[in-house]
Structure 1
Amino acid sequence: MTTDTDPAAERLRRWRLVLGPDTAAGATGGITALGSADGAVDRALEALYGDDTRGPGAREAGLGASAPRVARWLGDIRTYFPASVVQVMQRDAVDRLGLASLLLEPEMLEAVEPDVHLAGTLLSLHQAMPETTRTTARAVVRKVVEDLEKRLAARTRATLTGALDRSARISRPRHRDIDWDRTIRANLKNYLPQYRTVVPERLVGYGRAARSVKKEVILCIDQSGSMAASVVYASVFGAVLASLRALETRLVVFDTSVADLTDQLSDPVDVLFGTRLGGGTDINRALAYCQSRITRPAETVVVLISDLYEGGIRNGMLERVAAMKAAGVQFVALLALSDEGAPAYDREHAAALAALGAPAFACTPDLFPEVMAAALEKRPLPVPDAAARPPGAPAP
């Protein structure tokens, strides 16, 4: 029997669970028997990852078409595996076993482990959902959104509030506008020990006029099917940005048409259920709409979140980006806003944007506040990795 003090036996046990009953005997020295608890784990893994070489019928037989049976399987994997593993298995079940269609049934949704990818799948299905399922689906998506807000909102607000304060600071303030704390820190090199004082060669203060001018942020989000996780994260960030009084935030989603969801930013769940994941892509049309809403270019940041697979007018898209930048707009192109790693994207369009001074790169949710802070302060963007830039593209 496997014990915690027998590392070799534990390794064999793990290999047996990884390889399954058909291929494990040779690799594990003939050890194929499992205890009752491991047997249940093995059955859950076999249902999803078992041999599918016997054709579509065998693959379908893994979980079957019965929603109650699949719900029990989902309950089993939540019992045997940590949440992070459950989320991966759920995603694989959607891809391998056609689980998406069963997510239209309420009992299925009650059994799943909510995560960003599940939320994206539900959003792509919500127009086909029966009325009995929509309330449950909305509750699942709301839980995902609330978890993301807890993780991301506080840091985002703190980072951007600091950036907005710095961008409003002036170096020749009136006496009543001097920021004494930052002035002293900026002049510590001028400390005179004999007088025990600091000589302030440079004053730092807040510009009243500058602070009254709000920065504008336009989030322009590609809602094609491949961008599902990015849409979820961007909607949460949009709601957080809209809560900052020093910003005016607009949220625009697009496929071949354009929808302005700014009036729904108070609730990111409403934003998400206002999207239509899937369909084509017309970036040029979306940017034309965003461009028409810019009133103060020098105070505006446009964030395009797209894999850049353009179905519209390519030259028109690039000309609009060039025109916005020439007018003073800070333009940010994100190939993805997610934790999924390097995305698939149109490299030719990414290189063209980089040549215009708008490097396109993938961004994790944790990095997004820093990217926005740099854009608001008109600093170089913190591109996470030189490899994220297209070959030959200049550094930002």
Structure 2
Amino acid sequence: MTSETLRRWRLVLGGAAADGTGCALGGRDAAMDRTLEALYGQGTDVSRGRSGARGAGLGGSAPQVARWLGDIRTYFPTSVVQVMRRDAIERLGLAALLLEPEMLEAVEPDVHLVGTLLSLSKAMPEETRETARAVVRRVVEDLEKRLAARTRATVGGALDRSARVNRPRHRDIDWDRTIRANLRNYLPEYGTVVPERLVGYGRAAQSVKKDVILAVDQSGSMAASVVYASVFGAVLASMRSVSTRLVVFDTAVVDLTDQLSDPVDVLFGTRLGGGTDINRALAYCQSRVTRPAETVLVLISDLYEGGIRDEMLKRVAAMKASGVQVVTLLALSDEGAPAYDRGHAAALAALDAPAFACTPDLFPEVMAAAIEKRPLPIPEA
């Protein structure tokens, strides 16, 4: 076994007498080991910085914990930091310390931290709430910078192309559809198609709109999806050619459309956790559809239905039959598909509403495909 392999095993196993590596750590490796021990070990309390018999724990010292959070950012890549921070929240009670303003000011914000803050928002004292809003706003603004321009360009282009014309200008010819429409005119001796009928892109007028409804499951496992959906909802609402509605649900349904001008207000209007009644949420969304052929409904849920399953599927089938484009996302996040109800996913796929996980970078393409009524860019499993 190489020395590098021994070193890695020593960091994994934690240095107990029985780990069998016989490997001593120094310098950076020793500091890295201390951060791991504070979270996963059996003898160190990060709030005291000493060994003890009570096991790992963050204790009650915000400054010590802030230093620990800084250490993990120093020694580990971002993806590992996110995992360790979630583990600290679950294993060691970090959530309680996030209610302290000085703690929030020391933490590097990301989507997962926002999800944790939203789940704690009802328990926050007023002085912490203002700090939490500032943290959430930093994350939201960063996401808007990353996602807004591409979303507007991609969706705007799809809206322009969604109106087809048969006498297009040359620059507006849709060659793919034109060729398919004229395949019967193929001349094998010349290896070409004679286009008797041209299909082109129309330029959508400002008065021509698509109606987009985002229905977002706010159960605890969907926290990151709620954050991204709020940002995308605000971006879509800023486009005059799209009428956007944002609905969040657990066992109740809340319409947050009137708050879409500020996604931070939207996020603090959610209530993460609780049960799930997809059927009730779809019933509400269905009641708001006025132009089925011009409506895209995006259901974002892990599909663990606590309501009436058969009614849920009937509603989806009815909306599809009326012309509504139904898109089902198991998650809208960078982490991929979470645990989800595979039976419900299969049933929706049978209704031509396939359920799949979607990254934020792919979401504009998914919306564009739905608007143009072409196959969705479903990522490979």
Q: TM-score, normalised by structure 1?
A: 0.83
Distance 2:344 2:77 in 1: 40
Distance 1:100 1:353 in 2: 37
- Structure 2 match to 1:261: 256
- Structure 2 match to 1:366: 361
Shift of 1:271: 0.8
1:47 matched to 2:47? The reply is no
Cα deviation 1:279-319 (Å, max 9, x = unaligned): 11111111111111111000001011111111112222111
Percent of residue pairs bearing the same amino acid type: 81
Identify if the C-alpha distance between structure 1 residues 378 and 31 changes in structure 2 by more than 3 Å, giving closer, same or farther: same
- Structure 2 match to 1:19: 13
- Structure 1 match to 2:190: none
Shift of 1:141: 1.3
Matches within 5 A, 1:187-336: 202-203=197-198, 207=202, 212-336=207-331
Q: Please, what is the CA RMSD of the aligned residues? A: 2.7
SS of the equivalent of 1:104 reads coil
**Contact 1:50–1:62 at 8 Å: present in 2 too?**
no
From 133, 150, 169, the counterpart of 2:164: 169
The residue type paired with residue 133 of structure 1 is T
Distance 1:15 1:21 in 2: 9
Distance 1:204 1:354 in 2: 30
Distance 1:130 1:181 in 2: 59
Shift of 1:143: 1.6
Shift of 1:92: 1.6
Cα deviation 1:153-203 (Å, max 9, x = unaligned): 22222221121111123123xxxxx44323497899xxxxxxxxxx98555
Shift of 1:11: 5.0
Distance 2:248 2:332 in 1: 14
Distance 2:203 2:370 in 1: 22
Identify if the C-alpha distance between structure 1 residues 78 and 210 changes in structure 2 by more than 3 Å, giving closer, same or farther: closer
Cα deviation 1:66-95 (Å, max 9, x = unaligned): 223212212222333344432222112112
- Structure 1 match to 2:148: 153
The residue type paired with residue 115 of structure 2 is G
Give ranges in structure 1 of 5+ residues lacking alignment: 1-7, 173-177, 189-198, 388-396
- Structure 2 match to 1:175: none
The residue type paired with residue 115 of structure 1 is D
Shift of 1:364: 1.6
Distance 1:136 1:69 in 2: 19
Q: TM-score, normalised by structure 2?
A: 0.86
The residue type paired with residue 122 of structure 1 is L
Shift of 1:351: 1.9
From 85, 92, 96, the counterpart of 1:90: 85
The residue type paired with residue 31 of structure 1 is C
SS of the equivalent of 1:369 reads helix
Distance 1:155 1:137 in 2: 28
**Contact 2:99–2:125 at 8 Å: present in 1 too?**
yes
**Contact 1:106–1:133 at 8 Å: present in 2 too?**
yes
Distance 1:208 1:299 in 2: 16
Identify if the C-alpha distance between structure 1 residues 201 and 23 changes in structure 2 by more than 3 Å, giving closer, same or farther: farther
Distance 2:153 2:55 in 1: 49
Identify if the C-alpha distance between structure 1 residues 158 and 210 changes in structure 2 by more than 3 Å, giving closer, same or farther: closer
Matches within 5 A, 1:31-70: 31-32=23-24, 34-51=25-42, 61-70=56-65
Shift of 1:41: 2.3
Shift of 1:258: 0.9
SS of the equivalent of 1:64 reads coil
Distance 1:161 1:181 in 2: 17
Distance 1:19 1:153 in 2: 44
Distance 1:345 1:119 in 2: 22
Worse-matched range after superposition: 57-66 or 241-250: 57-66
- Structure 1 match to 2:183: none
Shift of 1:150: 2.1
Shift of 1:223: 0.5
Distance 1:342 1:301 in 2: 22
Shift of 1:12: 4.2
**Contact 1:168–1:211 at 8 Å: present in 2 too?**
no
Give ranges in structure 2 of 5+ residues lacking alignment: 44-51, 180-193
- Structure 2 match to 1:196: none
**Contact 2:137–2:264 at 8 Å: present in 1 too?**
yes
- Structure 1 match to 2:341: 346
Cα deviation 1:118-155 (Å, max 9, x = unaligned): 11111111111111111111121112212222222222
Identify if the C-alpha distance between structure 1 residues 350 and 182 changes in structure 2 by more than 3 Å, giving closer, same or farther: same
Worse-matched range after superposition: 156-165 or 273-282: 156-165
**Contact 1:337–1:365 at 8 Å: present in 2 too?**
yes
Distance 1:340 1:126 in 2: 24
